[in-house]
Structure formats: C-alpha cells, structure tokens
Amino acid sequence: MIEDLYNKDAEENILGIMLVDNSKVASISSLLETKDFFTEANRIIFDTICTMYKKDKPIDIVSVSEQLKFDNQLNTIGGREYINLLADSVITTSNYKQLCKIVKKYSKKRQILYLIDHTKSDIEKGIDIDDAIDSLKSQAEIISLSKTDNNLTSILTGVTEVMDEIDTVLNSETKTFGLSTGFKKIDNVLSGLCKSKIYILAARPSMGKSSLAQQIAENVSTNHNVLFHSLEMRYAQYTKRSVFRLTGLNNDVLTNGGVTVEDAMNRVAEASGQLSKLNLFIDDASECTLTSIEKNINNMIDKKGSCDLIVIDYLQLMESNNKKVYDRFDVVSDNSRGLKKLANKYNVPIICLSQLSRQLEQRQDKRPILSDLRDSGAIEQDADVVMFIYRDEVYNPSPMSRGKAELIIAKNREGTCRMIPMLFNGAKTEFIEGSNPR
C-alpha cells in the first residue's frame, strides 16, 4: 500500500514549517534531502525553498509561489492552493526534528525496498552472488549513513537551535528550557527536564524515589507522551498508588472502615477520570534492556507522534543486551552509557532511578553523596543531573523530622547544586514542596 511508503502528514508539515518559519529552514535542509520526499510535488517545493534560501531570497507563501510560477512548476505541484494548504497545516513548529526523522525513516525504507528488488533482479540475471552481496552491503551502508546521521553540524544550525530554545522559554508560562516537573522549585533549579539529558534520582529503600518519579511522570503526561518502565511494580500496583494518592484512600482506611462504600467509589471514579486523560504508557515487563526500551520509544513515536519523557524504575534491575556479560558493574555501566546514547539519539530526557550503597548507613550523617551511587562510577559520569532523596525520619523518628524530606541536587551540569525542602505524606505516598508539615 502507498501509505506504507511515506507519511503524508509529516512531509506536508515539514514543508509548511519551512514556509511559515524561516528560522527552521537551515536546520531542516541540513537534515533532509530532496530525494527524501515521496511525491514529486513535495520534492519540487522542498528543492525550491532550499535554492531560494541559499540565494538569501525571502521564504513565504507568496515568494515561493512566485518562484514556482517563474520556474513553470506551480501547476505541477498543485497550484497556489496546495502551497496555502501546506502553510495552514502547521499547528506548531517546535516538532520539526521529529518530523524530519519520520520523513527520513520512510525514505530509507523506500531505498531499502528498491535495493532489495534491484539485487534480486541482478541475481536472476546471473550476477556473481559474492558481487551481489558486496554491492548490497555497500549500498545499505550508504543508506544507513544518510544525512540525518551526519555528525558534522554547522554552527548556524547550533545558533538556530539556541534561538529556538530561548524563544520557547520566553514564551512559556514556566520560563524553563525543558518539561515542567510540576514542582516549581525543582523546575527553577533544573530549568525543567531538558531534551537529551539523563536525570538520576537515587535514594536508599523506602525514601520514596518511585513515588516522586511517578508524580513527575504524571505531571508531565498531562500534555506530553511519557514512557514509564516499571521494573519493580506491576502496572496494577502502580495505578493503585496513583488512585490512592488522588483520593486520599489507602489500605488502612479501606480495611478499617474509615470510609463508606459510596464515598470511596465516588472518589475512585473521579480519580479514574483524571488518570484516563494522562498520556502515560507503562511497560512492566520483568525483562528490560536497552533494546526493549528503544523498541517502545519507536512504537510511541509511530503511534502517538512523539516520546517526550522516559522514566526507568530502576537502573540496577535492567538486564544487559549482551547475554555474555554477567558482572553487575559491567551491566550497570553499559546500561548507563546506553541510556545516555538513547537520550541523545531521540532527543528526549530520561529519568533513571538508582539504588545507593548500603555503606552510607555506617556514616553518622546519612545524607547521600555522589560516591554512594551503587554498582558503577559510570552513573555519575553519564548523568547530567544527580538528585538524592533523604528523609531524616527514616533514621531518626521524631516529631521534628516527621513528614520532612530533602531533594538534594548533587550534580547539575548546567546549573547550581542545592537542597530543595520537600514534604512527604507516607499515607498517600505523595511529595509536595515546602518545609513545614501541615
């Protein structure tokens, strides 16, 4: 089917973005080539825009239409009506990189299918099989090293991206470079969850790292697509936590008659309505590898259009892609580096939960430090941000420490390190910002 050979919406949106936002033309032209577009009309329009841009001509609906008319191509591409349609199809210009990847993916698919057919034809004609294999390998390598995989980036592209980021920040409500965590003080320190960054959230058991990660994931998923790999909890247990937090219910209240059946079900129905609106997708498979994570990323991109945040709970439970690697240090190190590569490849922030060494229990001050990260020094090296959760009441129960928590930003590549006071409601497994328990 022709729908399997290209993505009509992606191609049209890319051309529309180039027509309405000149600042994106340089980046898009560095990521795509004319041959990447499926239809003749789209190839002509892309080539015309790129040619005009190189000659410092203005790029807009009227100018591009006039150039196509001058080149006797306007009727070929569908007239001014098609140009207007392309411009009108643009809802946002911020997703242009993802659209470029979609267009490029289909382009590679078409090239591979052509290559297979061509090789099959050569073999049927009697070409030497070794020559056919060598030719297939060579051409496949050329396809795999196409424009979007080029590691050489013009400084102009970098400047354009910085301008895009600053413009986004200035026009956003949160004034942050990344996705809002839903916690204002955390956003202020980290400038939100930024693309391509690895955020390590670490703590000793029972400190609440899964709860905080879950809250952040749900906050982000109100407006963005979030992939959550839950290696420690099944999705039913995860959902139960969310429902309890939103309703104020817990096992103790339910089993000891602290609420009527009608009241409980009304609360649950309301919470279910809230949760059903979230763009949150949970994989609770016990076997989690870099390959399975990447597969889920691609599935989300294909079905939902984007994967905007990934949460891994937690790093030490991940398995290795290489079944011959058994040493935990090597497995954790490989997965840490692999997650960083995925963050860069898909331009997505990743929150990765991590255990801490029990040796910190021997210290008088049990607040975590970077050297407490368990099983690998690569975690600290690969992470852009390292955060620790500390609750003094776990070690020193008292009225003074009850409900108090600290989120310690121990590493922050592009910002300051500090402690953010938090409050933890154990009954609801909920964190809120503040320092005075109510």
Report, as residue numbers or ranges, the catalytic residues. 232
Sheet holding 385-390, edge to edge: 280-283, 226-230, 309-313, 350-354, 198-202, 385-390, 404-412, 419-425, 430-433
Q: State whether the Cα torsion 363-368-374-376 is positive or negative.
A: negative
Instruction: Please name the amino acid found at residue 262.
Output: E
Smallest CA-to-CA distance from 99 within 176, 32, 146, 147 is with 32
Smallest CA-to-CA distance from 312 within 276, 278, 347, 348 is with 348
Task: For residues 380 and 310, give the distance between their C-alpha atoms in angstroms, rounded to a whole number.
Answer: 19
308 within 8 A of 220, measured Cβ to Cβ: yes
Instruction: Please name the amino acid found at residue 17.
Output: I
**What does DSSP say about strands 226-230 and 309-313: parallel, antiparallel, or unpaired?**
parallel
Task: For residues 275 and 240, give the distance between their C-alpha atoms in angstroms, rounded to a whole number.
Answer: 11
Taking the CA atoms of residue 262, residue 265, residue 269 and residue 272 in that order, the dihedral angle to the nearest 10 degrees is 160
Other CB atoms within a 10 A radius of the CB of residue 285 amount to: 12
Q: What are phi and psi of 111, to 5 degrees?
A: -65, -40
Query: For residue 389, what are the CA distances in angstroms to 113, 366, 418?
Result: 51, 11, 12
- The SS3 assignment for 178 reads coil
Burial of 201 (0-12, 13-18, 19+ CB in 10 A): buried
267 within 8 A of 198, measured Cβ to Cβ: no
